[in-house]
């Protein structure tokens, strides 16, 4: 054989292919890392109170805003900056691009304020005066803060009233449904129950009117407290203090203060209610909805999946049928989730739900009770979708248990069931857990089937509350994944909604990644235990 020069040989033996396959792996991993970095960078910075700059442009106009991005101008001659200028009610936009060449002067004035408001997003500007019922007096930030505290206390008082009002309207609704039922049963007009309901209705109505009056007058009173702020370009804006969620001076805050502020915002994120069509405020209903969904889904998919797997692995006779079933089950895991969704719609909602309505709530028709999307149906649909995951991993776990374990147990005179409960299930539990966690992670991230089985952008009430029967499985709910889709794609102001989408994304990614990492660790640990064990 002729000896080849090393250089030729290097190519001939395919060494570069090794490098190329390495590059393929690296590309994959880098893509994943870039994805995570993008989410982190965009998500983590959202709550950080950045400095408000005051710019003076060459044409003499002044702009206050926080710097969000810098990039080359379209003609590549210089840089341009994107500022969040807030004050949507004054400017109509939240962001503005400014060429650096236009900036004459920039500063970070200490007295700039950020107001988080109930409406129109943030406000950037300086405080001019505090006022009450038309009377305006110059004030300092400290005075504003104390005034805000007073207003907040008043608002908390109002919240109690609000709750009472909600309770009253809930009772009213219950009575309305009762009346509907009586109507449906053709109860005569002088039915004692009917009369009772009527009198109760009257009573609640009166109560309601009183409460409403008190609420209105108190609200009006609270709303008398206002403050006048001056925006960066010198325009004045009167803001009702009750509409201010939070006021702070980012330019004066130290790093510690900023961290504390950040933590405060995080707490709000977890326990707060959403505002401004979900683009501000907290995620509590979405988090709660997601958790409830996962919980109810697990209640169905876990036992069903485990029983099915036990049957397949321990009780069914190995044969063609079991092989086919196993293929089918593995196959089910690969069926598009939207197909499950449409099944949930056709079978659960329009099939079972509608039957429940006609059987149990005929008086409410045509308003559906269970015949419309809701937590129960969404959970069942997801349970169906995740049952194969549980079956496959439970089966795998049971199959990984050495035959000797079963024989050892039978040889001591135990029944199949005893062997199952005392030996097999405890040994398979990490595998079963893996399946369950993977199923839960899938449920947390799945959106498509939920969209057609009961998830909504803004649920009026949580699925659990203080009203009998406490757990309302027929209610619609919110979900983190859908939240992302909804505020990222359905909200009128996508640019302003982006920060919130990234925060939600970050949260969801964290939840899902932590869950699946735990599951995969558990599984690998189990594999090791049986592969390299001592027997």
Partner 1 sequence: MNPAFLKKVKRNDRLARWVITIGGMAIIFSVIFILILIARVSLPLFLSPEKALRADFQLEQAQAQQVATLGVDEYLETGYLVDRTGRFDFFTVADGSPLDSVAPAGEDTQRRLLTVDSYGRLNHALIWDDGSISIVQVKFFPFFDAQNNNQRSIRHRVEVLGEFPAPESGMPVRSLARSDGEERQVRVDLFADGHLQATLQQREESFLGDVEVTEETHTLSRKSAGAVTALTMSHNGNQLYIATDAGEIERWDLSDSEDPVLLEVVHAFADQRKITALDLVFGDVSLIVGDARGELTTWFPVRDEEGVWKLTRIHQLPGHNAAIDYVSPTLHDKSVLSRADGRVQISHMTSERLLLTIDPPGEKIATYALSTRGNGLITLSESGRVDSWELDIPHPEISAKTLFGKVWYEGYAEPSWSWQSSSGTDDYEPKLSLTPLIFGTLKGTFYAMLFALPLAIFGAIYTSQFARPRFKGIIKPAVEVMAAIPTVIIGFLAALWLAPLIERSLGSLFLSMILVPAALMISIALWQAARKIDPLKRVERGFEFLAVAPVLVMAVAIASVLGSGVESWLFAGDLKQWLFTETGNRYDQRNCIIIAFAMGFAVIPIIFTIAEDSLSNVPPSLRAASLALGASRWQTVWRVILPSASPGIFAGTMIGFGRAVGETMIVLMATGNTAIMDLSIFNGMRPLSANIAVEIPEAPVDGSLYRTLFLSAVILFVMTFVVNTIAEVVRQRLRAKYGRF
Partner 2 sequence: MAKLEIENPIVQVNNLKFYYPGNARALHGIDIAFPEKQVTALIGPSGCGKSTLLRCFNRMNDLIDGCRVEGDVIIDGENIYNRNTDIIELRRKVGMVFQKSNPFPKSIYENVIYGLRIAGEKDRSLLDERVETSLKGAALWDEVKERLHESALGLSGGQMQRLCIARAIAVNPKVILMDEPCSALDPKSTARVEDLIGELREDFTIIIVTHNMQQAARVSDNTAFLFEGNLIEYGLTDQLFVKPRNKQTEDYITGRFG
CB of 394 to partner 2, least distance (A): 17
CB of 310 to partner 2, least distance (A): 16
CB of 414 to partner 2, least distance (A): 4
Query: Contact, 80 vs 99, CB < 8 A?
Result: yes
- DSSP conformation class of 314: I
Tell me the site size for partner 1, rule CB under 8 A. 100
Question: Is the peptide bond prior to 469 cis by the omega test (within 30 degrees of 0)?
Answer: yes
Q: Does 29 bind partner 1 (CB under 8 A)?
A: yes
Buried b / exposed e over 47-65, threshold 16 CB at 10 Å, is: bebeebbbbbeeeeeebbb
Among 130, 375, 452, 500, contact with partner 1 (rule: CB under 8 A): 452
Among 227, 269, 441, 459, contact with partner 1 (rule: CB under 8 A): 441
Helices (H) and strands (E) in the chain, counts: 17, 13
Start-to-end Cα distance in the chain: 50
Among 48, 402, 490, 517, contact with partner 2 (rule: CB under 8 A): 402
Among 39, 144, 247, 269, contact with partner 1 (rule: CB under 8 A): 39
Query: Which residue, 117 or 406, has its beta carbon nearer to partner 2?
Result: 406
Rounded to the nearest 10°, the torsion over CA 379, 384, 390, 396 is -170
Query: Contact, 481 vs 445, CB < 8 A?
Result: yes
Query: Contact, 66 vs 84, CB < 8 A?
Result: yes
496 binds, among partner 1, partner 2, none (CB under 5 to 8 A by kind): none
Spatial separation of the C-alpha atoms in residues 356 and 26, rounded to whole Å? 54
Q: Does 429 bind partner 2 (CB under 8 A)?
A: no
Spatial separation of the C-alpha atoms in residues 377 and 382, rounded to whole Å? 8
Question: In the window 302-321, what residues touch partner 1 (CB under 8 A)?
Answer: 304-305, 307-312, 314-316
Query: Which residue, 146 or 415, has its beta carbon nearer to partner 2?
Result: 415
Spatial separation of the C-alpha atoms in residues 288 and 480, rounded to whole Å? 9
Spatial separation of the C-alpha atoms in residues 316 and 422, rounded to whole Å? 20
User: How many CA atoms does the CB half-sphere of 202 hold within 13 Å?
Assistant: 5
Among 397, 508, 522, 526, contact with partner 1 (rule: CB under 8 A): 508
Q: Give the interface segment with partner 1, choosing from 47-55, 94-102, 424-432, 515-523 (CB under 8 A).
A: 515-523
CB of 451 to partner 1, least distance (A): 6
Among 176, 221, 323, 422, contact with partner 2 (rule: CB under 8 A): 422
505 binds, among partner 1, partner 2, none (CB under 5 to 8 A by kind): partner 1
Ranges of H-type helices in 95-251: 141-184, 192-222
Q: Does 420 bind partner 2 (CB under 8 A)?
A: no
Query: Which residue, 89 or 407, has its beta carbon nearer to partner 2?
Result: 407
Q: Does 416 bind partner 1 (CB under 8 A)?
A: yes
| Contact set with partner 2 (CB under 8 A) | 317-318, 402, 404-415, 418, 422-423, 426-427, 533-535
């Amino acid at each position: 054989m002729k000896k080849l020069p090393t250089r030729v040989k290097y190519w001939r033996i395919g060494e570069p292919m090794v490098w190329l396959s390495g590059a393929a792996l690296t590309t994959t991993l880098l893509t994943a890392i870039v994805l995570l970095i993008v989410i982190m960078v965009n998500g983590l910075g959202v709550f950080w109170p950045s400095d408000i700059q005051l710019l003076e442009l060459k044409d003499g106009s002044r702009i206050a805003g926080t710097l969000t991005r810098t990039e080359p101008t379209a003609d590549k001659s210089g840089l341009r900056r994107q500022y969040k200028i807030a004050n949507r009610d004054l400017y109509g936009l939240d962001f503005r691009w400014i060429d650096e060449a236009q900036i004459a002067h920039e500063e970070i004035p200490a007295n700039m304020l950020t107001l988080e408001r109930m409406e129109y997003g943030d406000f950037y500007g300086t405080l001019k005066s505090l006022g009450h019922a038309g009377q305006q007096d110059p004030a300092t930030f400290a005075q504003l803060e104390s005034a805000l505290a007073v207003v907040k206390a008043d608002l908390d008082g109002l919240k109690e009233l609000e709750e009472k009002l909600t309770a009253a309207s809930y009772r009213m609704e219950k009575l309305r449904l009762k009346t509907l039922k009586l109507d449906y049963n053709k109860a005569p007009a002088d039915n004692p129950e009917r009369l009772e309901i009527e009198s109760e209705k009257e009573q609640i109505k009166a109560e309601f009117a009183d409460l409403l009056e008190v609420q209105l007058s108190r609200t009006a009173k609270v709303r008398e407290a206002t403050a006048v702020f001056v925006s960066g370009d010198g325009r004045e804006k009167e803001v009702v203090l009750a509409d201010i969620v939070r006021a702070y001076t980012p330019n004066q805050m130290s790093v510690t203060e900023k961290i504390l502020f950040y933590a405060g915002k995080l707490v709000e994120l977890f326990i707060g209610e959403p505002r401004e069509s979900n683009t501000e405020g907290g995620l509590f209903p979405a988090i709660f909805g997601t958790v409830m969904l996962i919980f109810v889904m697990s209640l169905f998919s876990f036992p069903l999946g485990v029983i099915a797997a036990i049957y397949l692995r321990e009780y069914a006779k190995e044969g063609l049928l079991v092989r086919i079933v196993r293929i089918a089950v593995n196959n089910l895991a690969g069926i598009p989730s939207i197909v499950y969704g449409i099944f949930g719609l056709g079978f659960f909602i329009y099939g079972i739900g509608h039957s429940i309505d006609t059987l149990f709530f005929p008086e409410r028709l045509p308003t559906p009770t269970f015949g419309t999307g809701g937590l129960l149906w969404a959970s069942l649909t997801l349970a169906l979708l995740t049952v194969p995951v549980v079956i496959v991993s439970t089966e795998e776990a049971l199959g990984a248990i050495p035959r000797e374990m079963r024989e050892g147990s039978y040889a001591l005179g135990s029944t199949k069931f005893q062997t199952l409960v005392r030996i097999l299930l405890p040994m398979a539990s990490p595998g079963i857990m893996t399946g369950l966690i993977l199923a839960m992670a899938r449920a947390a991230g799945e959106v498509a089937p939920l969209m057609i089985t009961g998830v909504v952008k803004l649920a009026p009430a949580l699925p659990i509350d203080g009203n009998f029967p406490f757990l309302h499985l027929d209610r619609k709910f919110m979900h983190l994944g859908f939240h992302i889709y909804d505020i990222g794609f359905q909200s009128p102001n996508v640019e302003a909604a982006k920060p919130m989408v990234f925060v939600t994304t970050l949260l969801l990614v964290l939840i899902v990644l932590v869950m699946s990492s735990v599951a995969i660790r558990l599984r690998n640990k189990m594999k090791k235990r049986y592969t390299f064990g001592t027997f």
